[in-house]
Amino acid sequence: MSIEVKIPAVGESITSGVLSTWHKQNGDMVKDGEALFTLETDKISTEVPAVGSGKLRIQVDAGQEVKIGQLVALLEDNIKAPGGSGEPSSPAEAAEFASPAANATAPRSASTTPVPVDETVPATSRSGVEQERNEALSPAARRIAEEEKVKLSEVMGTGKYGQVTKSDLIQYLESKSSPPPPAKPSAAPAPDVDVSRTPATGPSPRFTRRKMSPLRKKIAAQLVLAQQNAAMLTTFNECDMSAVMQLRSQYQETFQKRHTVKLGFMSFFIKAVVDALQSVPEMNTRIDGDDLVENHYYDIGVAVGTERGLVVPVIRDPDKKSFAELEKEVAAYAGKAREGKLHLDDLTGGVFTITNGGIYGSLLSTPILNPPQSGILGMHKIQNRPMAIGDKIEVRPMMYLAVSYDHRVVDGKEAVTFLIRVKECVEAPTRLLLQG
């Protein structure tokens, strides 16, 4: 009896995704609850656990697009455990369940050295081994082996436990089709050799083509949607970071010991944005058809860059949370984003977004709106610059701030007022504590 492994539902609006990675190899023993594969959709990337135990038989290769509910693997749960009364069903399983003494004399490894066929073994036994190796192939590798009539005993396996992979078969076929090296080097090619058709052995190809991931497609669609459906405009200002940096330096050690998290810059900007949204409610308004919807809550999205692309987890009710709670929540979301463990609920419901290009060295940028929101704040690199302070020139740590907004909803006066309020709160952080 086999257990079917199907693509689970991960959200009401999600109908398909890409099976990006198998965490187990074809033929591996899998335990109930172990991470089996990663499903990447246009909104989240999540690990899917096994729904039972058994020997894995993969039906869909990694990198393929799959539908919700699609069968992607089987877990064969009728495999005899070591020490059981039953006999192994194949020579490969017999080797897998061999005693330690036997394994000591014939260890299994992922060596790339091909295993020679023992001519003293009867042909029927060798065909059984060949059949077992063929069953352990992935669907794509099995198709290549059958179409090209490849003898698996001649192929070096680089997979787990010496398993033959798709790339092993392709490399084997290419090595057979490539011309043998000349017996003796010569200064010039023979007259009957067409040099122009000799395969190139120089540098790698000049480009690589691959499909866009669902997340990258979604990011691209959202950015184009923002450009096409909003009257976007950006206004800039600069912020003196001296007070915040001094405050962090003065209380960092105490803060970290007490709350087990570092006091960063993001909590100050989240609090400053909340204060500015309360002062300028137009920035907390969005268009819905022919209506203007003014939000009376302040859930703030914080953009996080990952290897798979940009995601924006949402901090809930930051107006009711302390600096320590905000720092812990931002750090937790950043970790979940990079590990691909964000849930759909983590990414929905924000009214405003903050993005920090300064961590990558950006000095100035024009951030793009995150629909249907009407505003986004861009933070940038802190850089020492000479500033006129009264009648003196002083070097201060300065940061350029940029707020992009939907001009259909927000006028220039409100946008500038909003950004100045953020600047005032960061330059005098006691405002955030006294709400003044």
The active-site residue out of 32, 317, 345, 411 is: 411
In this structure, are residues 128 and 119 in contact, taking their beta carbons and an 8 Å threshold?
A: no
The mean per-residue pLDDT over the stretch 83-111 comes to: 43
User: pLDDT tier at 69 (50, 70, 90 boundaries)?
Assistant: confident
Give percent of the chain with pLDDT exceeding 90: 40
In this structure, are residues 323 and 263 in contact, taking their beta carbons and an 8 Å threshold?
A: yes
Per-residue pLDDT reduced to its tens digit, 352-396: 999 999 999 999 999 999 989 999 999 999 999 999 998 999 999
**pLDDT for residue 243:** 96
Per-residue pLDDT reduced to its tens digit, 389-422: 989 999 999 999 999 999 999 999 999 999 999 9
User: pLDDT tier at 110 (50, 70, 90 boundaries)?
Assistant: very low
* DSSP assignments along 152-172, one per residue: GGGSPP-SGGGPPPHHHHHHH
Q: Which domains does the chain have, with CATH numbers?
A: 2-76 (2.40.50.100), 107-177 (4.10.320.10), 215-434 (3.30.559.10)
In this structure, are residues 350 and 301 in contact, taking their beta carbons and an 8 Å threshold?
A: yes
User: What are the tokens at 420?
Assistant: 């100045």
The mean per-residue pLDDT over the stretch 92-96 comes to: 43
In this structure, are residues 272 and 296 in contact, taking their beta carbons and an 8 Å threshold?
A: no
Q: Does the annotation count 411 as an active-site position?
A: yes
For 340-355, b where at least 16 C-beta lie within 10 A, e where not — what string?
bebeeebbeebbbbbb
Least confident span in 179-188, 257-266, 300-309: 179-188
In this structure, are residues 261 and 333 in contact, taking their beta carbons and an 8 Å threshold?
A: no
| Residue 159 CB contacts under 8 Å (≥ 6 apart), including other chains | 25, 110, 165, 168
Query: Which of 96, 118, 161, 418 has its CA nearest to residue 282?
Result: 418
In this structure, are residues 32 and 53 in contact, taking their beta carbons and an 8 Å threshold?
A: yes
The active-site residue out of 23, 259, 343, 407 is: 407
Q: Does the annotation count 319 as an active-site position?
A: no
Is pLDDT of 182 > 70?
no
User: What are the tokens at 367?
Assistant: 């951030």
Query: Which of 79, 82, 87 has its CA nearest to residue 98?
Result: 82
The mean per-residue pLDDT over the stretch 292-321 comes to: 92
For residues 138 and 58, what is the distance between their CA atoms, to the nearest angstrom? 6
User: pLDDT tier at 83 (50, 70, 90 boundaries)?
Assistant: very low
